């Protein structure tokens, strides 16, 4: 006997989740058999509601339930400082630190010609509109990968003509890390970015 | 800025899946942002349809889209042989072998007083109604654990008064296994169940 049709349909549809293959989807489906109807319906409702509600902020591109996200519409945030990040995940991650009061700009990816991602595929042009106005500093918080460096350089070139302070997160040894286990590249970066303490 | 509300709701609801904590749910939610609206709606629909459709077969207790499952309603299956399994997963697993043409009986769990699972919580009474009629052989295919043995012994006692052939899957060394890596219990079981070959 093959699996019931409603069961295989669910397994197929669960496979759109990242890292979920047939085996995991099957495990999820068996577990959902045991769950209350309400719980499963809530999950289905929140999936539909999520897809209907979630959008990108018209100013910074961050995920939001509204057209303008909470940060861009917050009068108390410093609109003169923009932190450039790869994706919305980075925004929420940096927000957790509670140490940054500026705004963000989500470029939604990194330049990577090998994967067919060119500058025009990213949310960069809206950044230029933003910096034309009141912005004083742009902080790069992209991943320290080749793609991150390339993207950062590309945007820096575009920003040259504006009178801006441009910075990036410091590279260095991670807190709690042990120097002997770090790779030479990281140590050389930490040397370059060394901080005068007296 | 906290995560958008529709996002946190989805994360909370995804956590009903087994082994999915906040981190994994968050990963799933970010991935669902990138998916087409149709794909996510299909997933939501299949969740609702699944929960509405899936039920336990009235005869054997196996998961099915109908009141009577495909095996119990199949005229070509041998109704005189019943294989007793712990859950529907075992049914579909044994079916994959294509070596068994009898019927099944899903008892939906194993006796385990320590977890508060007593015989009356399992689907055992309907088995007795079934064996009263035309059944000739009952095969136990429960897990070779303490709970499996206890459950098997309990049901055997109940079946004593019927004139039945009672068997269980053979214990032994797994195909492809290496004897030196097996534990002594498994080897002693394989010795007990040894098969005469000439």
Q: pLDDT per residue over B125-151, tens digit each? A: 899 889 887 889 999 999 888 999 999
Contact B4 A40 (CB under 8 A): no
Is B41 at the interface with chain A, CB within 8 A?
Answer: yes
* The pLDDT of residue B8 is above 70: yes
**Cβ-based contacts under 8 A for chains A and B:** 157
| pLDDT of the residue at B198 | 67
- Phi/psi region, residue A31 (left: phi>0; alpha: psi -120 to 50; beta: rest), is alpha
- Chain B positions in Cβ-Cβ contact with residue A51 (cut-off 8 Å): 32, 37, 40-41
Is A58 at the interface with chain B, CB within 8 A?
Answer: no
Chain A residue with CA closest to B15: the answer is A43
Mean pLDDT of A174-183: 79
| pLDDT of the residue at A198 | 67
List pLDDT tens digits, range B78-102: 999 999 999 999 999 899 888 899 9
Chain B residue with CA closest to A73: the answer is B1
- Chain A positions in Cβ-Cβ contact with residue B71 (cut-off 8 Å): 1
Q: What is the DSSP letter of B63?
A: E
Strands B63-64 and B55-56: antiparallel
| Option in B33, B70, B91 nearest A54 (CB) | B33
Contact A6 B95 (CB under 8 A): no
CA B139, CA B108: separation in Å to the nearest integer? 16
- Terminal CA-CA length for chain A: 77
CA A164, CA A166: separation in Å to the nearest integer? 6
Contact A35 B16 (CB under 8 A): yes
- Chain A positions in Cβ-Cβ contact with residue B28 (cut-off 8 Å): 17-18
Assess contact for A87 and A62: CB atoms under 8 A: no
Is B35 at the interface with chain A, CB within 8 A?
Answer: yes
């Amino acid at each position: 006997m093959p699996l019931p049709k409603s069961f295989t349909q669910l397994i197929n549809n669960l496979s759109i989740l990242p890292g979920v293959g047939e085996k995991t989807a099957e495990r999820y489906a068996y577990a959902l058999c045991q769950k209350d109807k309400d719980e499963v319906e809530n999950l289905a409702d929140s999936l539909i509601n999520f897809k209907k509600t979630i959008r990108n902020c018209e100013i910074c591109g961050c995920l939001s339930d509204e057209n303008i996200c909470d940060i861009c519409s917050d009068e108390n945030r410093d609109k003169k400082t923009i932190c450039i990040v790869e994706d919305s995940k980075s925004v929420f991650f940096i927000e957790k630190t509670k140490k940054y009061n500026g705004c963000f700009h989500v470029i939604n990816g990194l330049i990577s010609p090998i994967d067919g991602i060119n500058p025009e595929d990213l949310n960069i042009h809206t950044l230029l509109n933003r910096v034309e106005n009141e912005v004083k500093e742009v902080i790069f918080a992209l991943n320290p990968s080749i793609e991150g460096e390339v993207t950062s350089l590309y945007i820096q070139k575009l920003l040259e003509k504006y009178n801006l302070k441009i910075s990036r997160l410091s590279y260095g040894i991670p807190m709690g890390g042990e120097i002997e286990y770090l790779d030479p590249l990281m140590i050389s970066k930490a040397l370059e970015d060394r901080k005068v303490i007296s």
